[in-house]
């Protein structure tokens, strides 16, 4: 969507852009480039005029002119010379009202739309299980006529989909009625509804640290305060693994979670126990049981994001959190098992709570599109169908990525994930943002570590998705090695840029 950015909004996004590590115009261009790359400045947005931005930033017009010229040269701005400069990404045409136009499909990654020549490591998301999704929509269209006489508004979701989701929980050992399900437009929508209902403005929300960036953004946007609880670091090479209650290599720090619950009494705790984003860890049942009990004792509603639950790469067993207490609120989605383009997710909770969520939902929207929901019902009824092929490819990708990182990037310490779509990697130096800024010069797009934290944490980490096929992962890792070499040769580039929330990662 096109629009314009006024000078003070851009100044706010820029934060402390001039730290004096490089010529001012270059620093300004670097930060604007990061903002465009990670979505904080949307595509095809008109930037402020050079004069007005210079005045607002208290810098010279020459600096802004030179920064804009550099961005234009690098392909991050179009226009100028009489017309307003607009944001773009190299290889993308100008965005239209329908979105970006010429994202090309990479060979070997059917359906993965990325800017020409750029490998996108900022999204941890897969192309659709195309045939399965297509078949579900064909079936949905044959069922549509039966629903056409209705009004088409249904804040809870269409019956067949709610029944299918409920049956799935029941089969997994959590008896569930259709009345306990609210269908949403994805897990992110579900979280927003839950926040609106349960957390209240200025309420506290406990989160794992690191956590899923768009969830952190949603919590912040809801006016809530995050109470962060650090995930234990993975054991460093050559050191003994710390011992956690039943956890894997690192797990969760239940003592820290419990003391935060007792001391802070947050209204809500948001956790991703099933292949946590970004670490890929699976919370063991012993920790699940403990966490559910501790949240209940603190009067905190435990909100469990199960978006990645189906991406179980090593077949480890775990019990859905809701099996331990009827008070748990579960969020699910078809985005990772089938396709994010379905925009279909759900909330499972007690029936009275579901009614409250439905009432809160109507401030966002009045229900989901019907054909999508009918198609989703077919997908949920046959949830396992696309998974074996998906998991086999992901397993190969994960193992390839781990091997490549260990081979090409000595000093980088990737953590082996139990599932999910990404590897959380410790870097030898705190240069994650600097790498993300340099990455497009080397043909890749990255989400810097601080995007997964609060207050600029995780400069020492990078999330590397393994959603690309092995040959493209190799290209990406070689590019990372080149970017790292550029940093090693130019210490002035190793500086932190402001870490702020953004939307263009998943």
Ligand X SMILES: Cc1ncc(COP(=O)(O)O)c(C=O)c1O
Q: Which residues bind ligand X (CB under 6 A)?
A: 124, 186-188, 212, 272, 277, 305, 307-308, 333, 335, 340, 345, 506
The Cα–Cα gap between 28 and 19 comes to 10
Q: Which is nearer to ligand X, 88 or 463 (CB)?
A: 463
Q: Which is nearer to ligand X, 35 or 308 (CB)?
A: 308
Q: Around 270, how many Cα atoms within 13 Å sit in the side-chain half-sphere? A: 34
Tokens, residue 343 = 């925009």
Q: How far is the CB of 207 from ligand X (least distance, A)?
A: 11
Q: Which is nearer to ligand X, 85 or 333 (CB)?
A: 333
How many CB atoms sit inside 10 A of residue 407's CB? 11
Q: Which is nearer to ligand X, 340 or 401 (CB)?
A: 340
Cβ(84)–Cβ(46) below 8 Å: yes
Q: Which is nearer to ligand X, 277 or 294 (CB)?
A: 277
- Asked, as a colleague might, if the bond just before 278 is cis with ω within 30 of 0, I would say yes
Which residues are CB-contacts of 329 (< 8 A; sequence separation ≥ 6)?
A: 194, 198, 301, 302, 303, 304, 347, 348, 349, 353
DSSP letters for 254-307: HHHHHHHHHHH--SEEEE--BS-TTT--B--HHHHHHHHHHHHHHTPEEEEE-T
Q: Which is nearer to ligand X, 300 or 333 (CB)?
A: 333
How many CB atoms sit inside 10 A of residue 47's CB? 25
Q: How far is the CB of 503 from ligand X (least distance, A)?
A: 11
Q: How far is the CB of 23 from ligand X (least distance, A)?
A: 37
Backbone φ and ψ for 173, nearest 5 degrees, come out as 95, 15
**Listed residue (499, 494, 423) closest to 213, CA to CA:** 499
Task: Please provide the distance, in angstroms rounded to a whole number, between the alpha carbons at the two ends of the chain.
Answer: 19
**Listed residue (5, 83, 82, 81) closest to 43, CA to CA:** 5
The Cα–Cα gap between 330 and 191 comes to 10
Helix 187-194, helix 351-361: angle, nearest 10 = 100
The Cα–Cα gap between 242 and 249 comes to 7
Q: Which is nearer to ligand X, 197 or 307 (CB)?
A: 307
How many CB atoms sit inside 10 A of residue 188's CB? 23
Q: How far is the CB of 192 from ligand X (least distance, A)?
A: 10
Q: How far is the CB of 346 from ligand X (least distance, A)?
A: 9
Q: How far is the CB of 490 from ligand X (least distance, A)?
A: 33
Q: How far is the CB of 190 from ligand X (least distance, A)?
A: 8
The Cα–Cα gap between 320 and 330 comes to 9
Cβ(447)–Cβ(412) below 8 Å: no
Q: Which is nearer to ligand X, 132 or 340 (CB)?
A: 340
**Listed residue (121, 417, 457) closest to 278, CA to CA:** 417
Q: How far is the CB of 208 from ligand X (least distance, A)?
A: 10
Q: How far is the CB of 237 from ligand X (least distance, A)?
A: 27
The Cα–Cα gap between 271 and 289 comes to 14
Tokens, residue 346 = 């759900």
Q: Which is nearer to ligand X, 88 or 361 (CB)?
A: 361
Q: Which is nearer to ligand X, 70 or 158 (CB)?
A: 158
CA 493 to chain centre: 26
Q: How far is the CB of 212 from ligand X (least distance, A)?
A: 4
Which residue in the shown chain puts its C-beta closest to ligand X?
186
Q: How far is the CB of 221 from ligand X (least distance, A)?
A: 15
Q: Which is nearer to ligand X, 56 or 192 (CB)?
A: 192
């Amino acid at each position: 969507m096109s629009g314009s950015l006024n000078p003070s909004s851009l100044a706010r996004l820029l934060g402390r852009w001039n730290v004096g590590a490089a010529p001012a115009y270059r620093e300004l261009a670097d930060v604007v480039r990061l903002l465009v790359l990670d979505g904080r400045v949307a595509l095809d947005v008109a930037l402020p005029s050079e004069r007005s931005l210079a005045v607002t930033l208290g810098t010279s017009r020459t600096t802004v002119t030179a920064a804009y010229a550099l961005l234009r040269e690098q392909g991050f701005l179009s226009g100028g010379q009489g017309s307003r400069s607009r944001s773009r990404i190299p290889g993308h045409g100008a965005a239209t009202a329908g979105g970006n136009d010429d994202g090309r499909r990479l060979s070997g990654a059917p359906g993965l739309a990325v800017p020409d020549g750029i490998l996108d490591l900022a999204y941890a998301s897969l192309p659709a299980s195309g045939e399965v999704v297509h078949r579900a929509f064909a079936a949905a269209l044959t069922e549509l006529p039966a629903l056409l006489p209705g009004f088409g508004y249904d804040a809870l979701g269409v019956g067949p989909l709610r029944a299918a989701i409920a049956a799935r929980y029941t089969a997994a050992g959590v008896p569930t009625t259709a009345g306990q399900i609210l269908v949403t437009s994805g897990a992110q929508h579900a979280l927003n509804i839950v926040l609106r209902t349960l957390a209240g403005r200025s309420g506290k929300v406990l989160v794992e640290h690191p956590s899923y960036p768009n969830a952190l953004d949603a919590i912040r946007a809801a006016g809530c305060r995050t109470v962060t609880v650090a995930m234990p670091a993975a054991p460093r090479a050559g050191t003994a693994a710390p011992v956690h209650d039943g956890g894997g290599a690192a797990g969760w720090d239940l003592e820290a979670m419990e003391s935060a619950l007792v001391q802070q009494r947050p209204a809500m705790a948001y956790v991703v126990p099933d292949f946590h984003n970004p670490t890929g860890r699976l919370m063991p049942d012993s920790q699940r049981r403990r966490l559910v009990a501790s949240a209940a004792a603190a009067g905190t509603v435990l909100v469990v994001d199960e978006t990645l639950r189906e991406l179980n790469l090593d077949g480890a067993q775990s019990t859905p959190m809701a099996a331990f207490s009827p008070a748990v609120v579960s969020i699910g989605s078809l985005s990772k098992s089938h396709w994010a383009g379905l925009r279909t997710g759900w909330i499972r909770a007690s029936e009275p709570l579901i009614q409250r969520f439905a009432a809160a939902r109507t401030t966002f929207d009045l229900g989901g599109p019907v054909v999508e929901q009918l198609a989703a019902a077919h997908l949920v009824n046959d949830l396992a169908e696309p998974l074996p092929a998906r998991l086999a490819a992901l397993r190969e990708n994960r193992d390839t990525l781990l091997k490549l990182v260990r081979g090409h990037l000595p000093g980088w310490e990737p953590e082996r994930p139990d599932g999910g779509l990404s590897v959380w990697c410790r870097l030898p130096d705190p240069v994650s943002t600097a790498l993300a800024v340099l990455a497009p010069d080397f043909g890749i797009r990255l989400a810097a570590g601080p995007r997964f934290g609060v207050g600029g944490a995780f400069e020492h980490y990078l999330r590397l998705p393994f959603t690309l096929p092995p040959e493209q992962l190799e290209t990406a890792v070689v590019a990372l090695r080149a970017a790292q070499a550029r940093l090693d040769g130019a210490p002035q580039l190793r500086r932190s840029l402001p870490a702020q929330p953004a939307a263009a990662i998943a």
